[in-house]
Structure 1
C-alpha cells in the first residue's frame, strides 16, 4: 500500500508540474489590450504581459514569438520577440 501511495504522489507531481515549463507560440497579434496588459494572437490565444513588457510597444498585425507558461489556467507571457 505504501508503494502505491508513493507512486501516485510521483505521478501527480509529474502531471502537475508540466504547466510550469515554458512553451512558445508564433503568431500575428490580432488585438492589444492596454488596460488589461494582454495581447491576443490571430489563433485566439490571449497572453497576459509581465512587468517590463508594455502593451503600448506592441502593434496589431505584428508577427511575434511568445514564450509563455500557464499560471492558474491563464497563459502568461515571459517574453515577446519579433518572428523571423
Structure 2
C-alpha cells in the first residue's frame, strides 16, 4: 500500500510540472520591464525575486533551473554555465 501511495504522489506531482528542469543556453534577449530572459532557442523564462534582469548579459551562456506553471516557464535559478 505504501508503494502505491508514493507512486501516486510522484505521478500527481509530475503531471502538474512540480519537478524542476534545467537547460543550458545563450541569452538572446533580456526584458527588464517584465523581469524575463529569452534564450537562443526561443524559450522565455520569468525571473524570480532576487535575480535581476540587469545582472544578465546578451550572449552570456547560462544554466537555468525552472518549472512550468500554467504554460509559462518560471526560473528558480540562473547562473553562469561552464
Highest Rg: 1 or 2?
1
Fold equivalence (TM over 0.5): yes
Higher helix share: 1
Q: TM-score, normalised by structure 1?
A: 0.81
Where has structure 1 moved over 3 Å in runs of 4 or more?
none
Gaps of 5+ in 1: 1-9
How many residues align? The count is 73
Gaps of 5+ in 2: 1-7
Question: Which position in structure 1 is the counterpart of 2:13?
Answer: 17
- Cα distance in 2 for residues equivalent to 1:36 and 1:81: 19
1:50 aligned to which of 44, 48, 51: 48
Q: TM-score, normalised by structure 2?
A: 0.83
